Amino acid sequence: MQDWNYLHTNCFEVTIELGCVKYPKAEELPKYWAQNRRSLLQFMKQVHRGVWGFVLDAVDGRGILNATISVADINHPVTTYR
C-alpha cells in the first residue's frame, strides 16, 4: 500500500520494524519504547525538513489548483490539491 499511496496520492508512509516478532506481547512494548524512544522522536522531527510551501498565482496571490511541481532527477511530479 505504501508504494501505491506515494505514487497515486503523494502520501508518504513509513513502516518501522523493531524486531522479528510481528505482534509482540503487550508487556514487551514498554521495553521496545525504552530502547527506541530517542531514535523514534528524532525521526519524527525530520518532518520539518525538505521542501514545503504554497503555489500562488503571481497576479492575485490565490492558490493554484492542480499545479505540478517537479524536481530535477526525480521522476515523481507532485500536484497541488487546494
Nearest to 14 by CA among 46, 52, 37: 46
Is residue 18 within 8 Å of residue 34, measured between CB atoms? no
> CA 62, 65, 66, 72: dihedral to nearest 10 degrees?
20
Place of cell 521496545: 32
> Which amino acid is residue 2, in one-letter code?
Q
Mind telling me the catalytic residues?
17
